[in-house]
Every structure is written in structure tokens, then in C-alpha cells.
Structure 1
Amino acid sequence: MSLKLLLLCLLGRATSLMRSGFGLKWTQFDNIIMSKNIISEVSDVHCGKRCVLQCLQNDGCISVFYRRQHRRCQFHDVLFMSPEDGEQETGTEYYSLTTGICPTHYVQNRLLNLCYQFHTVTTSYDDALADCTSRGEHFMVIDSEDKQTHFVTQSTSSKVTAKCSYFIDGSDAANEGQWEFHDGRPMPFFAWSPGFPANASSSLDYIIAKKLVTNGSAYLWTERARFHSNCYICQRDI
């Protein structure tokens, strides 16, 4: 057993972002630790690869830090994207979970069956949607309170994503006031900002999840015209 562990821990480390079993190692997070969004911890672990395998066994785990000095796995329910958000700690390694279903750099939430990617460059609705559809994807579907909660938690976990408001799936372009997803399904859940939807203009047919000025950690929804520029999130069906 000890020989197997040793071989597992001595796998190559040549690339800046490398596959490791069921994980991707983010070397830009080496010697960095995050102290938020921790869902559980495990002690007496011999290497980061073992942390990845234990993350795989926890359906709520999206990423994991291995704290070598403490021989400890630290599991998280978000994918961190900004190393500058963390604190220095010698000997840490950071891995995002990958099961082969989601591409590299996508967030995979196994509890909610979500696979998606943030795009933090602002652009028009049409250009953003065209980018998603070019990969066979669509804007992120938020059809439950659990998905809204996860979206807020994930988007606020890193500075690079917390700076944006996002186009998400949903439109009443076909029938004013009747909101539906890209595939024609009626929307069963809404997280409207106070006073929305106004349904006051036929040009305000699309939804953005917007940071509130009074509460920077909340992303509530407002109506938007297609020519306004925002960041966006592409979701891949799995």
C-alpha cells in the first residue's frame, strides 16, 4: 500500500496546468491558501493526488487544496480563479476536480449537474450568445433556488468573476411578460431585483444577474436590451 501511495505522489509536474488522476493542478496557486468556502477537511494525507481522489468521493467538492506541511486536504464548493485572493502558505497545492465531463477551466457542480464557464469580457447579448453556441452551449440556466445560491457563491468567490454582471438564460422576446428558456421551457424560478420585471418595454427582453450596489455579494436579476454589454456564462449540457 505504501508503495502505491509513493508512486501516486511522484507523478510528473511538468506543465503549468496538468492532469492528475481526476484533477487539474493549478500551479499559479502553489504556496497559496484560501480560507473561505471550505466544506470539509481531512488529515493525515500523504500527497495532493490522494486529496483529489477524496474530493471525487464528496459530491459537493469542486476543488481542493493540499496543505503539505499539515498533511491535510481542504475541500471547497467553488473553483477559485484569482490567486491574489489568497494568503501565502509554503507547500500548498491546488486542484480542480475533473471527471472528463467538463472541459478544462469549467466549473463542474455534480450535485446540481452543472458544467459552465465564466466569460469576464463584456460584450453584447448577440455576440455573447454566438460565442456560447459556437461550442454547442447556451447561457447558464438558473431554474431553482439551489442553482441561484450556487451561482452567487461561485461568482463572488474570486475577484476576477465578482467584478461582473452576467447574461444568463431567459427571455420574454416571444411574448412580453412570459419568460422562457432557450429551449422554450417556461421559467419556474426567478430571482428578480426589487421592481423587476417591469415589462415596460418590448426591447428589455433578456436577463442579467446583476450585482446590487447596496449588497455587493448578491446577484439579482434585471431586464436588459440585447445591445447592452455584459459579461456572460456559457453552460454545457451533461
Structure 2
Amino acid sequence: MLLKLIVLCLVHYAPAMIRTGSGVKWKEFDNVLVSTSVTSEISNIYSGKLCLLLCLHNEACVSVFYIQKHRRCQFHDVLFMSPGDGDQEEGTEYYSLTTGACPSGYVHNRRLNFCYKLHHDKLPYDDGLADCTSRGEHFVVIDSSDKQSHVVKQITSSSATMTSSYYFDGSDAANEGQWVFHDGRPMTYFAWSPGHPANATARHDYIVASKVSNAFTWQDRRRGEAKYYICQKDL
């Protein structure tokens, strides 16, 4: 269950600095602590909401744990999705943060201006894409090594999200060997798995980030296969 918290017009440390954001308290993570992908920590903090406000002013922060008994904020650059991956820690609270047009509960990498949501229910390409477009979104666009590294880190941060391959944006269905994004832009960055693109048949025209070895490098696959998928919201 999600409890929404709105952070508005925070003035912290510097009076001239005003920022806004939206936070979500993840109730299923109460009394649970995950200690991977920690970017920084701050001690002598007396509430989870203050940790969230500090997260707002830390551009690398995607989510934050408040450890009550140590009065400590623990900042992360991913959004955890599997409470069972953590350890029991009485009095902990967990929050995620988005800003601007990125909806609450999404992953928001502010350094990359990158907003998206992982969907870990397996669907064929067309059905997954239809789900994205129903909200004005599209499959996630990976156009740099930074985005590839971040998304792979996000996928592998939770046991629930790393059990299947994912559909990413990109296809050469129109012209074999000419890979383009959904909006027609030519693709210039690729993270192909060894031996790919295989072009095994004319129908292997869609990009799948493959679970093989948990590397989530790319393969060219058919659109009828059921995979997880990631929807991106343009900001």
C-alpha cells in the first residue's frame, strides 16, 4: 500500500533554493532495510519526512530509508521493489522521490532527466506497448551507456524484477539492419549481447534486454514473445 506525501516549496540550507517534489512512503517496507546501492548517509536526523526532504536536495537520490534507532538517512540511486530482499530492522521507513512531471511511484533519475516504470508481468510486445501508450508513454529509450548502466542496476536491484528479459524501444522492422526508435530517430548506441543482432529471421526485429547472466544486454527477438517491459514518460 502506498501513502502519498507531497513535498512543496522546500527551503533548506540556502534560502534562495526552492525545489518541489512528490514522495511515496512504501508501507510494505516498514521495518525492513535494504543496504545495497547506497550512495550516501546522513546521521542525526529525527524523521523519515526530513530524510525525504534531504533526498530532494541530493540529485543522485531516487529513494531513501530512515533508520529510526540510529536517526540516520540512507540514500539510494535505485527504487527497491522486493521487501523480502531486505533485513528486518525495527522502526525503518522507506520513501521514493520524483520531481516535475515524473509521476509518484516511478523511478526518477534526475541526473539523466529519466522517468520510467518497470512492469514485471509478462506480455507480448504489442500488449506491453499498448499499456505504455494508454498513459501517453512508450517503451524505454536507451540512447547512452549511462542509461543502460542505470537501468540494468535498477532491474538487478530487486529479486522481483530480474526474473525475466525486458522489451526496450527500438526496431529494424521497417528496414532490416536500420535500427530506429519509436519516433523514427536513428539509434546510435547499442548494447548487443555477443552474436547479436542475429537477424535469424526477418521477424527478429525488436530489442529485448536479455536476462542471460543477469547482464541485460540486448538481443533481437520476435514481437510475439512474452516479456517484462519498461514504460518511459517523457519529461
TM above 0.5: yes
2:135 maps to amino acid: R
Residues of 1 paired with 2:207 and 2:174: CA distance? 14
Residues of 1 paired with 2:2 and 2:123: CA distance? 29
Aligned length: 221
Residue 130 of structure 2 corresponds to residue 130 of structure 1: yes
Query: What SS class does the counterpart of residue 132 from structure 1 fall into?
Result: helix
Residue 58 of structure 2 corresponds to residue 58 of structure 1: yes
Match of 2:5 among 16, 19, 25: 19
8 Å CA contact 2:24–2:105 kept in 1: the answer is no
Residues of 2 paired with 1:123 and 1:32: CA distance? 31
TM-score normalised by L of structure 1: 0.90
Name the residue aligned to 1:197.
197
Residue 73 (structure 1) shift: 0.4
Q: How does 1:113-152 map to 2 (within 5 A)?
A: 113-152=113-152
Moved segments of 4+, more than 4 Å: none
Name the residue aligned to 2:209.
209
Q: How does 1:18-167 map to 2 (within 5 A)?
A: 18-21=4-7, 22-167=22-167
RMSD (CA atoms): 1.2
8 Å CA contact 1:20–1:49 kept in 2: the answer is no
Residue 220 of structure 2 corresponds to residue 223 of structure 1: yes
Residue 229 (structure 1) shift: 1.1
8 Å CA contact 2:98–2:105 kept in 1: the answer is no
Query: What SS class does the counterpart of residue 143 from structure 1 fall into?
Result: coil
Residue 98 (structure 1) shift: 2.4
Q: Structure 1: 5+ residue runs without aligned partners?
A: 1-14
Tell me which moved more, 68-77 or 21-30.
21-30
Q: Structure 2: 5+ residue runs without aligned partners?
A: 8-21
Residues of 1 paired with 2:101 and 2:87: CA distance? 31
Give deviations 1:54-98, integer Å, cap 9, x for gaps.
Answer: 111111100000011111100000000111110001111100012
Aligned identity (percent) is 61
Residue 20 (structure 1) shift: 4.6
Residue 99 (structure 1) shift: 2.0
TM-score normalised by L of structure 2: 0.91
